[in-house]
Amino acid sequence: GNSVTQMEGPVTLSEEAFLTINCTYTATGYPSLFWYVQYPGEGLQLLLKATKADDKGSNKGFEATYRKETTSFHLEKGSVQVSDSAVYFCALILASGGYQKVTFGTGTKLQVIP
């Protein structure tokens, strides 16, 4: 079956530090890949996406590149802010025959300290 593996959290960084959250996947077929962010007390929000190999998704200073050869979609940000503190979920969606299957990773909690 399909699966998404994220690095364990929590990740604690100082403000302006560089962020990497690792995500690898296994899937049959050609999935689209996503990062979602969940702020405390809220639902998930789509952060960025990439629908094919070598695509780079970017939003709000975050980036992730779809690497088919390493089956990875690592999330990066050059300089984190306290407001980036949240839980980040990597996900894949496989669409086939008019149906879609969604698989989420377990989430990585990021805490940014001033």
Partner 1 sequence: DSGVTQTPKHLITATGQRVTLRCSPRSGDLSVYWYQQSLDQGLQFLIQYYNGEERAKGNILERFSAQQFPDLHSELNLSSLELGDSALYFCASSAGPVSYEQYFGPGTRLTVT
Cα 101 to Cα 20: distance, rounded to the nearest angstrom: 26
69 touches partner 1 (CB under 8 A): no
Per residue in 70-108, is it b (16+ CB within 10 Å) or e — as a string? ebbbbbebeebeeebbbbbbbbbbbeeeeeeeebebebb
43 touches partner 1 (CB under 8 A): yes
- Interface segment toward partner 1; rule CB under 8 A; list 19-27, 62-70, 71-79, 95-103: 95-103
> Residues 46 to 65: which contact partner 1 by CB under 8 A?
46, 49, 51
102 touches partner 1 (CB under 8 A): yes
List residues binding partner 1 (CB under 8 A).
32, 34, 36, 41-46, 49, 51, 89, 93, 95, 98-107
